[in-house]
Amino acid sequence: MRFALSTEQLDFAAELRKILDAGQVPAAVRAWADGDTGKGRALLRQVAEMGVFGLLVDEQYGGAEATPVDLTVALVELGRAAVPGPTIESAAVIPALLQGLPDPEPARRWLPALTGGGLLGTIAFDEPQRSIALDAETVDLVLVAGDGRISLGRRTPDSGEAVDPTNAAAADAASAPGQAAAGAAGDASGGSAAPASGSGSTGARASVPSPLASIDPARKLFGITADELVADGEDVQEAIDYAFDHGVLACAAQLLGAGRAILDQTTNYAKQRKQFGRAIGEFQAVKQQLADVLIALDLAEPLLYRAALTLDSPDRTRDVSAALVACGDAAHRAARAGLQVHGAIGYTAEYDLSVWLTRVTALRTAWGTADFHRARIATALRDRPAS
């Protein structure tokens, strides 16, 4: 199995990284956390213009019909830059879901706008591992999927008064800092549903509900209930399962990118920070920590690309779960080492490193816990036909 990227893929990654480096992403992330999504949306439009949201989309809907490996390359770069917004949902999950439906009408309705960057989407799955929707108050399309049904999302009836989504002042107030309390267990999933709903010309838009708790203030999470039915049936459940695994793969890719970004920042810091007249990177304890992080990331990367290559095979579930566990552990190791090497400044929210540290913590559980994915791997190995 070939894991080396092609020249075209490496060039695409380099060009995307150049655009993201120029985009002042940490400032956009902090503004997004404060309820000002303007900078982040502008950044995402640039990402869309690069074709990222259309990589998995058929040409008939304006996409590039590229491979999952191409998408993985792009998502690693989005993770490396810590781009805000529902990129996993818009670039991977929703395209895979809508194109897997037996009825092409939902794909015709939403994919062209999604591909062009004029529409952002999010999705909640009717299961404990992903029962929340990211940035539901910001996006243009909110979907709920589970039990063989796909529906538009709406706020729960006991959630209080709805807020007119066209009222920008009310919207900003409802998504202001403090609404999203910092938690210690990563992204929340399950639990009582917070309000969310609304409808727009292209689909359902959340009407400024109160978010659930998230360790990452730039990731606003919302409970969603189903409203208008989009599709149902046995084939629909297969599309839902397929789309969920796209989300797992995309999350693993972003974790790998975030881990590499933390390692780069920490290595540069260790070369510049001096103690006792020497750069701290010269000390064996620091070098050993950074070397362990590099090894962990390098060992996780082949699992990620294997999962991308086998996404349409019977090994799909096992491989995406293995990729997420490996990339999550490697990114977590990078975050711990980064925090320790940076010392006291690593704990401050004002320092840019905090953007990646909180992102890694949130993503590790955003698409299922490590226990959930290890159980899926064990089940796949146990049920594997004897050769």
pLDDT in tens, 355-378: 999 999 999 999 999 999 999 999
pLDDT of 209 = 56
Convert the pLDDT of each residue in 31-50 to its tens digit: 999 999 999 999 999 999 99
CA proximity to 262, closest of 150, 153, 187, 337: 337
CA proximity to 51, closest of 68, 69, 76, 71: 71
pLDDT of 5 = 92
User: Identity (one letter) of the amino acid at 276?
Assistant: F
Identify whether the C-beta of residue 123 lies closer than 8 Å to the C-beta of residue 133: yes
User: Domain 242-383: which CATH class?
Assistant: mainly alpha
CA distance 380 to 142: 31
Average the pLDDT over 289-296 and give the result. 98
Q: Kindly list the distances between the CA atom of residue 253 and the CA atoms of 67, 213, 297, in Å, as whole numbers in the listed order.
A: 14, 24, 11
160 or 325, greater pLDDT = 325
**DSSP strand pairing (149-154 vs 225-232):** antiparallel
pLDDT of 15 = 96
